[in-house]
Amino acid sequence: MVKIPNFKNKALLNQALVHRSYLNENKEIITSNERLEFLGDSIISFIVSSYLYDNFKNYDEGRLTNLRSLLVNTKSLADCARELDLGSHLLLSKGEEESGGRNNQSLLADVFEALVGALFLDSGVQAVKKLLEEVLLPKTQSFVEKNMLKDPKSLLQEYIQSHKKSSPKYVVLLEEGLPHAKLFTVGAFVGEKLYGKGEGKSKQEAEEIAASNALEKLGK
């Protein structure tokens, strides 16, 4: 488990942990972590892009983009949140907590982005880079070694067509959340058999994560 970085301004850390559902039951709290999440999303993308540009000099723009998307997708950021145990610190409504919010992949990705935004405001970009070097950037080599730079949907398509003489289908299993903050759960099916599931903030992202999940189960 990686420790949450020290903050000079504890109020920023506290705000990063406030999910909007918490405001409904705690009227004295007036701000959720959504603005910090917006900021953190951009900072993570910038630092990851800079890191990939400096360290993968033989990669063209397409491969760099694919690698960045693997690093900044909902699953990867949620895994970072789990390494920091952010779920146990989240401030949620009772309803959100009872529905499994502390382990919800989208909520965990959001709170990690909010933490990054708060850390940037508190301690600057170097502190954020240090955190990402601990919990996010080390995943890069694993993606490269697993040859995941190709679109996972294409990889799954090739594998299924060569072994099953069929093609995977992607079905939305669940759509939840407000219009500006949707979460999609998608299943990757071959015939009636479910091969993998994925959650994402868009159908496309959820399909890619479902394909990655299916490839992992197939040992690919």
Q: How do residues 151-207 score in pLDDT, each as one tens digit?
A: 788 888 988 888 877 889 999 999 987 777 788 999 999 988 999 999 988 898 899
Catalytic pick among 37, 41, 110, 122 = 41
The model's confidence at residue 148, banded by pLDDT at 50, 70 and 90, is low
Question: Given a cut of 70, is residue 32 above it in pLDDT?
Answer: yes
pTM for the model stands at 0.75
41 belongs to the catalytic site: yes
Sheet holding 193-200, edge to edge: 169-176, 183-190, 193-200
Domains and CATH numbers, the chain: 10-144 (1.10.1520.10), 152-217 (3.30.160.20)
- pLDDT at residue 149 in the model: 63
Q: Count Cβ atoms below 10 Å from residue 76 Cβ, excluding itself.
A: 20
Higher pLDDT, residue 95 or 133 = 133
The model's confidence at residue 220, banded by pLDDT at 50, 70 and 90, is low
Contact 47, 125 (CB under 8 A): yes
Catalytic pick among 37, 96, 110, 113 = 113
113 belongs to the catalytic site: yes
Higher pLDDT, residue 147 or 177 = 177
Measured distance CA(102)–CA(110) in Å, rounded? 12
For the chain, the average pLDDT equals: 90
Segment 68-95 mean pLDDT: 93
